[in-house]
Amino acid sequence: MILDVLRGLALCGIALANFPEFALWTFLSNEEQAAMPTADIDTVVRFLQYLFVDGKFYTVFSLLFGVGFSLILSRHPVSLFLRRMLILVAIGFCHLLFIWSGDILLLYAVGGLLLPLFIKLPDKALLCIAVLLILLPVGLDALTEFAGIDFAAPFYDAWWRSATEQGITDENFASWLRDADSYPKMFAFLIQGAHERLWEFVGGHRLPKVVGLFIIGYLIGKNRYYAHLPKLPLKKLFFTTAAIGLPASVLYACSATGGHAWGLTVHSALYAVSVVPLAFAYVFGVCLLLQGAPNWGKGFAFAGRMALTCYITQSLIGILLFYGIGWGLGTSFGLVSIEATALCVFTLQVLLCRLWLRYFHFGPLEWLWRMLTYGKYLPNRQKEHVPT
């Protein structure tokens, strides 16, 4: 249950991170954000978002992907794992190109395809490689800042060429999806958005970070630490990671809201030393809570068991609420209202997941992914037998 609870918690945090983009608030200029009725409280919420949310839940989700990979690789040949990742590539690509430009699944799938390259190495070597991969973006950003080597420049140029071809400019960027009253107009934005996402992946050096986190998650799963929680010094681990991650996250939030005033390299270093330790503090904190109150996280667990379905449906709900082909509410609300909406959406998902799982073993997309992986029909209704 602990893995499902953590996965559900990560989904809640991912909703908080993504809904400002669904609502197009992120695309507004500073002046437009400041003109919102809730601008004063939005400033506080934005700081708290960088402090407690930004990067942390994506990190937890990445660790859990790594744990899941270890479970698959312990029971099945690498070929089946690779087939599962290739199917995720297709799911992520379709999500990116046809639904939402902020997709993370494609990156996860590519990172997952690289994981078998490392799994035969000793644990200590894997841990060293993981740490180096997580810290690698700091060195790459230093090369950009001090040597003028911009790895993402060609992707940035390709993005704006695509945007220009679609008629998207700085002036209409924030309002395009709000005004898109047909899917073809929305799709025009998604085409350039796919180019933008590639630029974000390269410029943010996302792949080495993700693979590093996958490796750590793989080690956690391989050694089954989640199954031996009473033997772990959870309190010590929680306070140690929180003592590192929380102060560093305060500095990271100051850098993020201050326009990287201390420079790109310092900002990148703060990200690395804040996001990963605080994400681990969240994990250890949840483990402690579940030891004291085992039923505490049941709601999160329902969503965690249907993580893929919840992730995709968050995108669909965001489109319905904020884009012109839905209710067109984008750019209408301040950040505090958007985050409240995200929490409401996640709460609704928990209730629907609980109802669904009364009758089915897996969420609809999890079931489809599983059948495509095994290449055969698998029963899903609760009264049907599901092979292990």
Residue-wise DSSP of 142-165: HHHHHH---TTHHHHHHHHHHHHH
Span 210-251, pLDDT tens digits: 999 999 999 999 999 988 888 899 999 999 999 999 999 999
**Pair 92, 106: CB distance under 8 Å:** yes
Whether 351 is covered by a domain: the verdict is: yes
> What residue type is 344 in one-letter code?
C
DSSP strand E in the chain: where?
Answer: none
Neighbours of 359 (CB within 10 A): 10
Tokens 């312990």 sit on residue: 74
**162 belongs to a structural domain:** no
Residue 367 lies in a domain: yes
Under a CB-based contact definition with an 8 Å cutoff, are residues 55 and 18 in contact?
no
State the average pLDDT over residues 65-89. Answer: 93
- Helices 39-48, 335-359: inter-axial angle, 10-degree rounding: 60
Buried b (16+ CB within 10 A) or exposed e, 152-191: beebbeebbebbeebebeeeebbbbbbebeeeebbebbbb
Task: Report yes or no: 185 and 324 within 8 Å, Cβ to Cβ.
Answer: yes
Give the pLDDT of residue 371: 97
Residue 13 lies in a domain: yes
> Rounded distance, CA 75 to CA 81, Å?
10
Contact 46, 257 (CB under 8 A): yes
Rounded Cα–Cα distance for residues 272 and 51 (Å): 13
Q: What are the angstrom distances between the C-alpha of 125 and each of 16, 64, 74, 205, 313?
A: 35, 20, 19, 22, 38
Q: What is the DSSP string of 246-284?
A: HHHHHHHHHHHHTTSTT-HHHHHHHHHHHHHHHHHHHHH
Partnered with residue 381 across adjacent β-strands are 360
pLDDT per position as a tens digit, 180-204:
999 999 999 999 999 999 999 999 9
What is the reported pLDDT for 294? 83
Q: Is a pLDDT exceeding 50 seen at residue 388?
A: no
The predicted-structure confidence for 116-149, as pLDDT tens digits, reads as follows: 999 889 999 999 999 999 999 999 999 999 999 9
CA atoms within 13 A on the CB side of 82: 7
Q: Is residue 286 part of a domain?
A: no
What local confidence, expressed as pLDDT, does residue 383 receive? 74
Sequence letter at residue 126: L
pLDDT band at 43 (very low <50, low <70, confident <90, very high): very high
Query: Which domain range does residue 351 map to?
Result: 1-53+297-388
pLDDT of residue 296: 86
pLDDT value of position 384 = 54
| Residue 301, domain member (yes or no) | yes
Does some domain include residue 122? no
Q: Are 209 and 189 in contact, with CB atoms under 8 Å apart? A: no
Q: What residues contact residue 40 under an 8 Å CB cut-off, 6+ apart?
A: none
Indicate the angle between helix axes 56-75 and 2-22, nearest 10 degrees: 140
Q: Is 232 left (phi over 0), alpha (psi -120 to 50) or beta?
A: beta
Which residues does residue 360 pair with via DSSP β-bridges, in sequence order? Answer: 381
Percent pLDDT > 70 in the chain is: 99
Query: What's 231's DSSP letter?
Result: G
Q: Long-range pairs for 101-105 at CB < 8 Å and ≥24 separation? A: 101/189, 101/190, 101/193, 101/194, 101/196, 101/197, 102/18, 102/21, 102/193, 102/197, 102/315, 103/197, 104/58, 105/308, 105/311
94 occurs within a structural domain: no
The tokens 């599901």 sit on which residue? 386
Q: What are the tens digits of pLDDT across the range 154-175?
A: 999 999 999 999 999 999 999 9
Name the domain count of the chain. 1
Q: Which two tokens stand for residue 216?
A: 């750590």
20, 67 Cβ separation under 8 angstroms:
no
